[in-house]
Amino acid sequence: MSTTNQEFLSDFATMSGFGATAGGGVDRQAGTTADHATRRWFGEWLAQHGFAEKVDAAGNQFGTLDVVPGAPYVLLGSHLDSQPLAGRYDGAYGVLAGAHAAARVATEAAAGGLDPVYNIAVVNWFNEEGSRFTPSMMGSSVFTGKLALEQALATADPAGTTVAEALAAGDRSTGAGAPVLADVARYAEIHIEQGKNLEETGTQVGIVDRTWAASKYRVTVDGAQSHTGSTRMEDRRDALYGAALVIAAARDLAAEFAPGQLHTSVSEMYVLPNSPVTIARQAVMNLDLRSPDEEVLARAMDLLDKRIADAEALSRTDISLVQTHRWGLVSYQPAGVALGTASAEQLGFSHAEIMTVAGHDSTNMKDVVPTVMLFVPSVDGISHNEAEFTRDDDAVRGVDLLTEVTRRLVRGELAAD
By CB under 8 A, the residues from 272 to 311 that bind its own copies are 272-281, 286, 288, 290
> Cβ(235)–Cβ(334) under 8 Å?
no
In the range 16-75, which residues lie near its own copies by CB under 8 A?
none
CB of 142 to its own copies, least distance (A): 19
Q: Which is nearer to its own copies, 13 or 248 (CB)?
A: 248
> Cβ(188)–Cβ(76) under 8 Å?
yes
CB atoms within 10 A of CB 135: 17
CB of 260 to its own copies, least distance (A): 7
Closest CA to 402 of 189, 139, 213: 189
Contact region for its own copies (CB under 8 A) — 56-64, 96-104, 160-168, 251-259? 251-259
Rounded alpha-carbon distances, angstroms, from residue 24 to 33, 127, 232, 388, 389: 18, 22, 49, 9, 10
Residue-by-residue DSSP string for 323-370: EEEEE--PBPPHHHHHHHHHHHHHHT--EEEEEESS--HHHHHTTTS-
- CA–CA distance, 361 with 139 (Å, rounded to integer): 8
Q: Which is nearer to its own copies, 227 or 326 (CB)?
A: 227
CB of 74 to its own copies, least distance (A): 27
The yes or no reply on residue 84 touching its own copies (CB under 8 A) is yes
Q: Which is nearer to its own copies, 54 or 290 (CB)?
A: 290
- CA–CA distance, 76 with 205 (Å, rounded to integer): 17
> Cβ(74)–Cβ(116) under 8 Å?
no
In the range 200-239, which residues lie near its own copies by CB under 8 A?
212, 214, 224-235, 238
> Cβ(242)–Cβ(223) under 8 Å?
yes
Q: Which is nearer to its own copies, 121 or 297 (CB)?
A: 297
In the range 117-156, which residues lie near its own copies by CB under 8 A?
129-131, 134, 136
CB of 299 to its own copies, least distance (A): 16
CB of 377 to its own copies, least distance (A): 13
CB of 177 to its own copies, least distance (A): 33
CB atoms within 10 A of CB 61: 29
Q: Where are the alpha helices (DSSP H) in 60-91?
A: none
Contact region for its own copies (CB under 8 A) — 32-40, 163-171, 383-391, 397-405? 383-391
Among 63, 77, 195, 340, binds its own copies (CB under 8 A): 195
> Cβ(121)–Cβ(113) under 8 Å?
no
Contact region for its own copies (CB under 8 A) — 47-55, 109-117, 149-157, 354-362? 354-362
Among 30, 34, 65, 86, binds its own copies (CB under 8 A): 86
> Cβ(85)–Cβ(73) under 8 Å?
no
What residues form DSSP beta bridges with 156?
A: 162
Q: Which is nearer to its own copies, 194 or 406 (CB)?
A: 194
Q: Which is nearer to its own copies, 157 or 404 (CB)?
A: 157
Among 48, 259, 305, 415, binds its own copies (CB under 8 A): 259
Among 384, 397, 407, 408, binds its own copies (CB under 8 A): 384
Rounded alpha-carbon distances, angstroms, from residue 10 to 5, 44, 182, 392, 415: 9, 15, 34, 11, 36
Q: Is 163 exposed, middle or buried (0-12, 13-18, 19+ CB in 10 A)?
A: buried
DSSP structural state of residue 304: H
Q: Which is nearer to its own copies, 185 or 240 (CB)?
A: 240
Closest CA to 174 of 71, 32, 47, 76: 47
Contact region for its own copies (CB under 8 A) — 2-10, 144-152, 176-184, 267-275? 267-275
The yes or no reply on residue 172 touching its own copies (CB under 8 A) is no
The yes or no reply on residue 193 touching its own copies (CB under 8 A) is yes
- CA–CA distance, 145 with 157 (Å, rounded to integer): 22
Number of residues interacting with its own copies: please give it, by CB under 8 A.
71
Q: Which is nearer to its own copies, 176 or 322 (CB)?
A: 322
- CA–CA distance, 195 with 282 (Å, rounded to integer): 35
CB of 14 to its own copies, least distance (A): 25
